[in-house]
Copies of this chain bind each other. A is one copy, B any other.
Amino acid sequence: MTELFVRTLREDPADAEVPSHRALVRAGYIRRVAPGIYSWLPLGLRVLQKIEAIVREEMHAMGAQEVRFPALLPREPYEETGRWTEYGPNLFRLRDRKGADMLLGPTHEELFTLLVKDLYSSYKDLPLALYQIQTKYRDEARPRAGLLRGREFVMKDSYSFDVDDAGLEASYQRHRDAYIRIFDRLGFDYVIVKATSGAMGGSASEEFLAIAENGEDTFVRSPGGYAANVEAVQRPLAAAQDATGVPAAHVEDTPDSPTIETLVALSNDRFPRDDRPWTAADTLKNVLVMLKHPDGSRTPLAIGLPGDREVDLKRLQAAVEPAEVEPFGDAEFAAHPRLVKGYIGPGALGMGGDPDAGEDGVEPGAGVRYLTDPAVVDGTRWITGANEAGHHVYDLVCGRDFASDGVLDVAEIREGDPAPDGSGPLSLARGIEMGHIFQLGRKYADALGLKVLDPNGKLVTVTMGSYGFGCSRAVAAVAENTCDERGLVWPRHVAPYAVHILATGKDASVLEFATRLAEQLDAEGVEVLLDDRKASPGVKFNDAELLGMPTSVVVGRGLAEGVVEVRDRATGSRDDIAADAVLTHLLGILQG
């Protein structure tokens, strides 16, 4: 500790939002250089390198070969796949001295695809798995939480290449198994959930999440084993209903009913149902947003969903990627005069025009794409806006009186909602995305022409899998998952040092014994941190808890009676151990 390049801080850094970030900065593991951009100090770098080593070992064990691509890349391959545009402002772009467009790679699908195309040409060369551990860049709108969402970060990304779908499935499974081994070795709580594939394209995908209160991702689980990122939950379509006997739709004067709550109250008061009271679930709320597309164009979107649910913005965002969601403001209302704020009904929405208006009767206000919740199915009966201020329409039946342009399931998922697979009620929790595995399919191979000859001498397009793991994010995610109010609590396999020896007290024999113990452990291949500073025991205890090595040994007053104390950071246990037995004791702990 007298030599180690570290200083612990008493105060929390001003910009730290989550416990792991506070602890990593206070403990001298990382330092901020710019928003979302960090320097690694020796302790932090040791954790990162241990995580990288675990990842390398498991990737190697499953037969993946390591390569390394540049971070600074030419525009062309990203142009060919459309991602130069799709990434929008999330991409760091620059021009070189000759004016050529370049980018800092956020992910390397294009480069992997082109490299395999360059080297391989036959089905005999496949399956192939390649990976790299490499620094990536993403110009996040809101970098946050230290390493959890940075603009420069270290990822392991791997890709599988197969000649057919069965091969991809097998490659995916091998990667999934390797990920499980990696996560088990990291030594903390995680969960595997179904995921959306986002801007990557592709079909099947799963995320490995660290369970953490401060995580950005919300996921759901059911008692029957369903688990999904909330963005990936697909509620099934409700059953169609028989609307025979539902009266014709009728517009009513509904003054002072600007909210769902007031509308329900007014409806029960003035237009009561026979069988039961109206509830918010009987109303059809139409929410308007603007979609900003990567090419800069903007189009309106209307979402119809039962009035007892809100649109979940993250689910909506995931569903419309790569477009971005923006508010539908006064200027947009002005541009769509048929849309009456607060009273928007299906009649003014949809690409097909008003179905009641006949073949050529596209009325003003139509042309807004209208997508509806899975609960809005044929035969369902709604109270909704009449496209006239102060008026709502009753007994508007889906399929009879209106149609939508399609289904969009972006309503919030609630605790207790049924799992889509019928495996019971969902519970919600939060997590940090640490890994994401995809069956990409042929999107990139198609765009970039990666084909091989099959056994019949026919050219076939290769199918790919993509498997990401956030190495630098893992440092923070493990810290977030394990730390407590006193500081970091590293699992054994990722701790910068296995044992932290504290020499406390002024007696020369204390430092002597502590130093000898450190040397003995070192000789056994154990990584040891020795606190040999001239500092008070209190300072050393606090620093040891903040730095978070799994095991510490306090050599102090007890030494005179031949005793030292062994502390376990995670459990808080403190055991007096005979000084002459402590080496064996520690080796036992480390092997256990």
Judge whether A139 and B70 touch: CB under 8 Å.
no
Judge whether B31 and A72 touch: CB under 8 Å.
no
A102 at the interface (CB under 8 A from B): yes
CA distance A104 to B115 in the complex (A): 25
Q: Which B residues lie within 8 Å of A28 (CB)?
A: 119
Segment 81-96 of A: residues with Cβ below 8 Å from B: 89-90, 92-94, 96
Q: Which B residues lie within 8 Å of A68 (CB)?
A: 39-40, 45, 48
Judge whether B115 and A73 touch: CB under 8 Å.
no
A33 at the interface (CB under 8 A from B): yes
CA distance A120 to B48 in the complex (A): 24
Judge whether B111 and A33 touch: CB under 8 Å.
yes
Judge whether B4 and A38 touch: CB under 8 Å.
no
Q: How far is the CB of A100 from chain B (nearest CB, A)?
A: 8
CA distance A70 to B104 in the complex (A): 13
Beyond A6-B119, A92-B96, A97-B89, whether A33 also contacts B67 by CB under 8 A is no
Chain copies in complex: 2
Judge whether B139 and A97 touch: CB under 8 Å.
yes
A74 at the interface (CB under 8 A from B): yes
Q: By CB atoms of chain B within 10 A, which of A5, A71, A90 has the most? A: A5
CA distance A119 to B31 in the complex (A): 10
CA distance A94 to B91 in the complex (A): 11
Judge whether B69 and A39 touch: CB under 8 Å.
yes
Segment 47-106 of A: residues with Cβ below 8 Å from B: 48, 63, 65-74, 89-90, 92-94, 96-97, 100, 102, 104
A135 is contacted by which of B45, B92, B100, B135 (Cβ under 8 Å)? B135
Interface residues of A: mostly helix, strand, loop or mixed?
mixed
CA distance A312 to B526 in the complex (A): 56
Judge whether A130 and B39 touch: CB under 8 Å.
no
Judge whether B40 and A5 touch: CB under 8 Å.
no
Segment 31-46 of A: residues with Cβ below 8 Å from B: 31, 33-34, 37-42, 45
Judge whether B70 and A5 touch: CB under 8 Å.
no
Q: How far is the CB of A135 from chain B (nearest CB, A)?
A: 6
Judge whether A118 and B31 touch: CB under 8 Å.
yes
Q: How far is the CB of A26 from chain B (nearest CB, A)?
A: 13
Q: Which B residues lie within 8 Å of A92 (CB)?
A: 72, 94, 96
A508 at the interface (CB under 8 A from B): no
A486 at the interface (CB under 8 A from B): no
CA distance A130 to B68 in the complex (A): 25
Interface residues on A, range: 35 or more
A7 at the interface (CB under 8 A from B): yes
Q: Which B residues lie within 8 Å of A115 (CB)?
A: 31, 39, 41
Segment 324-375 of A: residues with Cβ below 8 Å from B: none
A480 at the interface (CB under 8 A from B): no
Judge whether B151 and A72 touch: CB under 8 Å.
yes
CA distance A96 to B152 in the complex (A): 12
Judge whether B67 and A45 touch: CB under 8 Å.
yes
Task: Tell me the nearest residue of chain B to A103, going by C-beta.
Answer: B94
Task: Tell me the nearest residue of chain B to A91, going by C-beta.
Answer: B97
A559 at the interface (CB under 8 A from B): no
Q: How far is the CB of A161 from chain B (nearest CB, A)?
A: 10
A141 at the interface (CB under 8 A from B): yes
Q: How far is the CB of A405 from chain B (nearest CB, A)?
A: 33
A128 at the interface (CB under 8 A from B): yes
A467 at the interface (CB under 8 A from B): no
CA distance A40 to B120 in the complex (A): 16
Judge whether A70 and B118 touch: CB under 8 Å.
no
Q: Which B residues lie within 8 Å of A139 (CB)?
A: 96-97
Judge whether A74 and B39 touch: CB under 8 Å.
no
Q: Which B residues lie within 8 Å of A151 (CB)?
A: 72, 96
A172 at the interface (CB under 8 A from B): no
Judge whether B67 and A34 touch: CB under 8 Å.
no
Q: How far is the CB of A317 from chain B (nearest CB, A)?
A: 17
A71 is contacted by which of B7, B41, B71 (Cβ under 8 Å)? B71
Q: How far is the CB of A32 from chain B (nearest CB, A)?
A: 10
Q: Which B residues lie within 8 Å of A5 (CB)?
A: 65, 67, 119, 128, 130
Q: Which B residues lie within 8 Å of A135 (CB)?
A: 71, 135
Q: How far is the CB of A50 from chain B (nearest CB, A)?
A: 13
A208 at the interface (CB under 8 A from B): no
A278 at the interface (CB under 8 A from B): no
Q: How far is the CB of A45 from chain B (nearest CB, A)?
A: 5
Q: How far is the CB of A302 from chain B (nearest CB, A)?
A: 29
A137 at the interface (CB under 8 A from B): yes
CA distance A189 to B111 in the complex (A): 36
CA distance A31 to B33 in the complex (A): 33
Judge whether A74 and B33 touch: CB under 8 Å.
yes
Beyond A33-B74, A139-B96, whether A119 also contacts B42 by CB under 8 A is no
A70 is contacted by which of B37, B45, B73 (Cβ under 8 Å)? B37
Q: How far is the CB of A464 from chain B (nearest CB, A)?
A: 15
Q: How far is the CB of A38 from chain B (nearest CB, A)?
A: 7
Q: Which B residues lie within 8 Å of A45 (CB)?
A: 66-68
What are some 17 contacts across the A-B interface (CB < 8 A)?
A4-B65, A5-B65, A5-B128, A28-B119, A31-B115, A33-B73, A34-B72, A37-B70, A39-B67, A39-B115, A40-B69, A42-B65, A42-B66, A45-B68, A92-B96, A96-B139, A96-B151
Extra A-B contacts (9), CB below 8 Å, given A33-B69, A33-B70, A42-B65: A31-B118, A34-B70, A34-B72, A37-B74, A39-B69, A42-B66, A72-B151, A96-B151, A97-B141
In the A-B complex, list the 10 residue pairs whose CB atoms are closest, starting with the nearest.
A94-B94, A40-B68, A34-B74, A89-B97, A7-B119, A37-B70, A42-B65, A97-B139, A5-B65, A39-B69
